[in-house]
Amino acid sequence: MVNYYQTKIGVLEIKEENGAITEIGLVKEIKKGEENSLLKQAFIEISEYLDGKRKNFTFNTNPKGTSFQKQVWNALLTIPYGTTCSYKDIAIKINNPKAYRAVGLANNKNPIMIVIPCHRVIGSNGKLVGYAGGLNIKEQLLKLERDNYESI
């Protein structure tokens, strides 16, 4: 099941299968979709996050990917709200310190933006690097977290 929602950062497409969110991504326009309680919950929690009122998400997720990608995505979930780390940091975290390029590729394939916080990964030089939603969205999300780090 899939539905589309207007948010502060654009139109989100949220997909659900078997009681878990499998994809969240930006799309150009709202299309006709279907809504169930899980899709609605995901939208509400993401809206709360975008309003600076939520740090963590409570709904089930089940991203589709390779075992390596899932290992990287699980490591992304450990990056605390309001902080950043590098691809190399993630590679070290998954006990594969030379795999930072592969980590970057897995990060780029993250199907559940915001919830699996790939926006918190930056270049080792401290610069913002690639983001599926665009660097302007990545910058907005990081600023949102910095601005609300203490208040939630």
List Cβ neighbours of 70 (8 Å cut-off, separation of 6 or more): 63
Instruction: Give the other-Cβ count within 10 Å of 63's Cβ.
Output: 19
* β-strand partners of 6: 11
**Among residues 144, 116, 128, 104, which one has the least CA distance to residue 57?**
116
List the structure tokens of 71: 């290992």
Q: Reply yes or no on whether 85 is catalytic.
A: no
Catalytic residue among 76, 118, 121, 144: 118
Cα separation, 14 vs 150, in Å, equals 29
List Cβ neighbours of 145 (8 Å cut-off, separation of 6 or more): 81, 82, 120
Cα separation, 14 vs 35, in Å, equals 10
Report the catalytic residues.
118
